[in-house]
Amino acid sequence: MKYIPHLFFIIIFHYCFAFAHTITEIKEMVEEELEREKFIDHIIVRLNAGSHLKNAKDIELLATEYELNSNKIKLLVTSEGHEYSLEGISTEAIIIPTLTRKVNKGELLNEDMFGETKYPKDKLSRLIIQDAKEVIGKSAKKTLHPNKPIRPSELMSPTIINKGQKVTLQFNKTALIIETLGVALEAGGLGDIIKLKNIDSGKLVIGKIKNAQVVEVGGKT
């Protein structure tokens, strides 16, 4: 490998013709180079590779060119005896937990289901889970797919109260606790807010599930 500085560019020529690669492997090689040369922990590279290269398995990386103060990159590759010039961009990334397999609706998440995936740092938000410990033990509201960001809205606590179940309604009034019977109008898990019916008064109330038998509510009985 030979490094040739050129004005504000770095051009890296690769001499590794003995190995063939897929476009995904080429992308990973370039990411490692940029992380090393730009002193950034994690980088994602996106390339505009055409359909003729997406399924190829004999790609050789000949040269990488990038600007020191830009996220634009250029690659020179060869496949089946033809040379191709590819353009792309690099983005600083962060590691987030993602699933290693498809998880079906209602399935509980456990630590064996998780791996790690790079995710663009500029797209990160509070709506994306960054620590797998936050969601272990919860269940999927819908089918979840591998290597995708996980959002809190896609998960729920395991159901401990079912719709139609009789429960204890607990009204906390300062130092006084009043309890009566109610019927859950919705299913829910620990900490969920659900609608219920007060059996004695017939009124609808809203409460927070405390455990499998008790729901804390406010308002009048």
pLDDT digit string, tens, across residues 95-119 = 999 999 999 998 999 999 999 999 9
Structure token pair of residue 205 = 């109330």
Fold type of domain 159-217: SH3 type barrels. (2.30.30)
User: Whole-model pTM?
Assistant: 0.67
Is 109:140 a contact under the CB 8 Å cutoff?
yes
Token look-up 């819908």 returns 142
Spell out the domain ranges in the chain: 2-93, 94-156, 159-217
Q: Which ranges constitute the DSSP H helices of 2-66?
A: 23-38, 51-54
Q: Which residues does residue 89 pair with via DSSP β-bridges, in sequence order?
A: 46, 72
Question: What CATH number labels 94-156?
Answer: 3.90.1210.10
Burial, 88: exposed, middle or buried (Cβ in 10 Å; 0-12, 13-18, 19+)? middle
C-alpha 139/C-alpha 126 separation (Å) is 19
What does the pLDDT average to over 145-163? 92
